[in-house]
Chains A and B, each alone.
Chain A
Amino acid sequence: MERPPADARDERDARAAEWAARLAGGALPTAPAADLDRWLEADPRHRGALVRAQAALAALARPPMDDVVPAAPVRLPPRTLGRRALLAGGAACGLAGLAIALRPVPSLATGIGEIRQTPLDDGSSVVLDTATRVTPRFSAAVRDLRLDQGRALFRVAHDPARPFVVEAAGIRIRAMGTAFSVAREDGVEVLVTEGIVEVTGALRPARLRAGERGRFRAGDAASTDRLSADAMARALDWRDGRLELQGQSLASAVAAINRYNRRPIVVADAALAREPLHGAFRNDDPEGFARTVALTLGTRSHVENDRIVIGP
């Protein structure tokens, strides 16, 4: 071998490169395979380093005719086409292909204080708010999801052949290609940021357009209203783990922060609780929030018995 590796990253890359080269020679005999497994187990980063090394080898070993880069950008076929091709492939190679196309997705969940964006198999994506559970049940005909609890924002990949339906507490929200959030809190709140959704399950079916908000309850009358662009953006701030306040009361800000944290904030003084607040805060740092607010409002904050108290 040549000069010793300069640092840990080089050392890791060097080992990854060796394994990638050995794997390219064919299946490993038992003893080296066990060595490789040991190396992969030793550090969670090793697996990624190996994949990267294998991709590097593939790039180096590729025949030169692939080296032609198109002068004009190449458009990928529309997604529906891709899926149809995949389904056809599934039919051709039997169960294996079908298993890929119809693979059931386990339910997606976040804990308290966690916000997570997850891509879905169809190219859509979902952002789960704190303490949320969504169970996707996709089939070839329909993209069905159930919001079991919490709040989620869905960005739906356009596919007229396969409607995207979210069910929450008996309310069904049906979309084609659009973005909307659904929250289970005192009924079901739906907020549409792009496109149109159809909501059924309440007293009457309803249609919500971009910029509209609806509150629904199974079998009950619905209420809808239109939000300004600003209000809409604020209503979706939770995606970034962020709480933006523009004059809301301390009481309502605290209620929002408390949904993300196990240790609640308590406001010790009723007059203080009505104080309006401005500014952006992270919603996963209640102590920092309490300190900043106390400083702004000229009071104190302290921690006592698993709660954070703002006030004198």
Chain B
Amino acid sequence: MAGATPTTIDWLATHILPHEAGVRRWLIAGGASPDEADDLIQDAYCRLGELASTDHIASPRAYFVRIIQNLRRESFRRQKVVRFDMLTETQASSIIDERADPERVADARRQLSMVAAVLTGLPARCREIFRLRRIEGLSQREIAHRMGVSEGVVENDAAKAIRHLMSAMRADGETLAGGTATRRRA
């Protein structure tokens, strides 16, 4: 498989991940079911992962939102059902304001505290693995060697932490999606 390049993955972690919960909230407030929202977001990651370069993207969140809007329009059309309610909803909440910088910073803070909470909540061995990775910059193999465990153990622990963060982000987007949480363009 070709897969996303390390640079793109890093860009996603910095510029897209923090906005995922907000976008999910916006989708659900706009009438999408949690499953639909999940599919759209997953699909958007898939497309973003294919980017060869991200230099041309000045506003990553707006780009993310635009991709999702396009995917959503496509899926509306595939459904071939007249859904006036949805049409009005999408128009009302047409796009998250591209210039809302305070919100962008708030999203980033929220994401950091989520990452911190996941790391703190890990079992001791798993926490140590991430400490070695984060602070000492060791590779998975070096970590395994240092801790006297197999690489498989390190991988399993890493996978566990990833899973925690993935479900924390999803829960964040789903629980905050109230009926009135629709964000509008200012």
A residues with a Cβ closer than 8 A to B are: 2, 9-10, 13-14, 16-18, 20-26, 33, 36-37, 40, 44-45, 47-64, 67, 69-71, 73, 76, 79, 82-83, 85-86, 100, 103, 113-119, 121-123, 125, 240-242, 280, 282, 284-285, 288
Contacts and interface: CB of A to CB of B under 8 A. Distances in A.
B159 A21 contact: yes
Contacts of A123: 56-58
Interface in B88-121: 91, 101-102, 104-105, 108-109, 111-112, 115-116, 118-119
A71 B154 CA distance: 35
A44 B57 CA distance: 25
Contact of B163 (A17, A54, A100): A17
Given A24-B140, A52-B45, A123-B56, A69 B10 contact: no
Nearest to B88: A280
Given A60-B115, A86-B53, A285 B63 contact: no
A107 to B, nearest CB: 17
Nearest to A285: B82
A14 B112 CA distance: 22
Contacts, number: 190
Given A64-B134, A83-B55, A56 B105 contact: no
B55 A55 contact: no
A121 B56 CA distance: 7
Interface string B30-52: 00000100110111111111001
Contact of A53 (B66, B76, B134, B166): B166
Interface of B: 1, 3-4, 9-10, 12-13, 16-17, 35, 38-39, 41-49, 52-53, 55-59, 63, 66, 69-70, 73-74, 76-77, 80, 82, 84, 87, 91, 101-102, 104-105, 108-109, 111-112, 115-116, 118-119, 130, 133-135, 137, 139-141, 151, 154-156, 158-163, 165-167, 169-170
17 contacts: A13-B167, A18-B155, A24-B158, A25-B151, A48-B42, A55-B13, A56-B166, A59-B115, A73-B105, A76-B59, A82-B56, A114-B77, A115-B73, A240-B87, A241-B77, A282-B82, A282-B87
A55 B73 contact: no
